Amino acid sequence: MMKKVLLTITGVTLILLGAALIITPVPGILFMIIGLACLSLVYERPKSLLRLLQAKLHHGARRIDKRRMQKKLYR
């Protein structure tokens, strides 16, 4: 029970810290992802959000790589 409370407090704190750091040059999204990872150890909903985020980031990275390769080929 104590572990669940501690992970919940840590996760929520990191998500709020990440949201506050979005407007600064510090990568706030990283804190938010770590916070979601902490919460996913206890709850199911953050786990599904992490899976969705992973899929979106993977798709975005593939698109960026494809565009970079096209630019190299046309130079």
Query: What pLDDT, on a 0 to 100 scale, did the predictor assign at position 46?
Result: 92
Query: What pLDDT, on a 0 to 100 scale, did the predictor assign at position 4?
Result: 93
Q: In this structure, which amino acid lies at residue 11?
A: G
Residues 6+ apart with CB under 8 A from 26: none
Quote the DSSP letter at residue 24. Answer: S
Using an 8 Å Cβ cutoff, are 14 and 27 in contact? no
Question: How many domains in the chain?
Answer: 1
- Regarding pTM above 0.85, the answer is no
Residue 28 CA, chain-centre distance (Å), reads 9
Query: What pLDDT, on a 0 to 100 scale, did the predictor assign at position 69?
Result: 85
pLDDT of 72 above 80 = no
Task: Give residue 16's domain range.
Answer: 2-73
Phi/psi of residue 27, each to 5°?
A: -70, 85
pLDDT digits (tens, 9 = 90+) for 11-64: 999 999 999 998 888 788 899 999 999 999 999 999 999 999 999 989 999 999
- Dihedral sign, CA of 49, 51, 54, 55? negative
Query: What pLDDT, on a 0 to 100 scale, did the predictor assign at position 75?
Result: 65
